[in-house]
Amino acid sequence: MKLLSLLFFVIVLSIDPTKIGKVNSLKSEAKKAYLTGDMKTAIQKYRFLKDSLGVSEEEIAMNLANAYFQTNDTTSAFSNYQPLSVSKDPKINSWANQQMGVVSNRQGKFEEALNYFKQAMKAEPNNEQARFNYEMVKKKLEEKKKQDQKNKDNQDKKDDQKKDQNKDQKDQQNKDQKDKQDKKDQQNKDQKDQQKKDQKDKQDQKDKEQKDKEQKEKEQQQKDQKDQKPKDEKDKKPDPSLSDKLKDMKISEEKAKMILEAMKNQEVQYLQQNKRKATKPKDKGKPDW
């Protein structure tokens, strides 16, 4: 007991009365600025109390965090609410978690906000504002999930459509390439067929010319032979008949008979003369020849 009294006495002696007065004065000024809505002044004075004078009272930390929140400095507000979210005071604990949930909700972090609101209700079950915020954010999260799913379905649909379009485009490109290749192959085939046809036509023309030439030669030979035959026949034509000769000589048949008869008589007379000369006796001493 004596030890405790001595310790209390030492603490009292170590406290600077001037500092205490200054702290109390700043508290009063900061609270006045806070209650009148002069958050900028309240922040300056609460920060000086906390950072420079080392005042660690939860009420000062809470007012500083609230002042930051009122000026929309949510980053500073959140960092000052965070140590208070584990306070042993249920009201301070609940309020700090609730405000952290509000900041998270504003940042679109709905699941984190729900967790902070849940912690606020757990610390202070009668915190109706935290409960209202919880239900509101829960509904918003459900709607967001539905919207996200809808957006996902729409995006999947768009992706499928795009995939189908890309497939159709690729199929069309492949078809165009195939058609182009088929056309090229057909052109090459047509060109080869035309070359073959030209060669065949050329050969047919050549064969025809050769055939025509041979035909002409054959016809010429036949013509030459035909022309030669009358000539040969003319050369081989028998002598004209006696009547024709007489006619050519302009001698009548009667006169011709008379001439022939005279010639015959002369020939007989000649033969008779030769016969008389041959009756001369043969020389027995000589041969008959």
Q: How far apart are CA 101 and CA 228, in angstroms?
A: 135
Per-residue pLDDT of the chain (289 residues; tens, 9 = 90+): 444 443 433 333 344 567 888 999 999 999 999 999 999 999 999 999 999 999 999 999 999 999 999 999 999 999 999 999 999 999 999 999 999 999 999 999 999 999 999 999 999 999 999 999 999 999 999 998 899 899 999 999 898 888 888 888 888 888 888 888 988 889 888 888 888 888 888 888 888 888 888 888 888 888 877 777 666 555 555 555 656 665 666 667 777 778 788 887 777 676 666 665 555 555 556 555 4
Contact (Cβ atoms closer than 8 angstroms) between residue 96 and residue 65: yes
Task: For the chain, give every domain's residue range.
Answer: 16-77
Contact (Cβ atoms closer than 8 angstroms) between residue 31 and residue 43: no
The candidate with the shortest Cα–Cα distance to 55, out of 90, 78, 31, is: 31
DSSP classification of residue 49: I
Q: Which residue in the block uniquely carries the two structure tokens 């007989």?
A: 268
The candidate with the shortest Cα–Cα distance to 30, out of 62, 52, 53, 63, is: 63
What tokens were used for 263?
A: 């010639």
The candidate with the shortest Cα–Cα distance to 83, out of 112, 47, 110, 57, is: 57
The candidate with the shortest Cα–Cα distance to 144, out of 108, 180, 96, is: 108
- What's the Rg (C-alpha) of the chain? 76
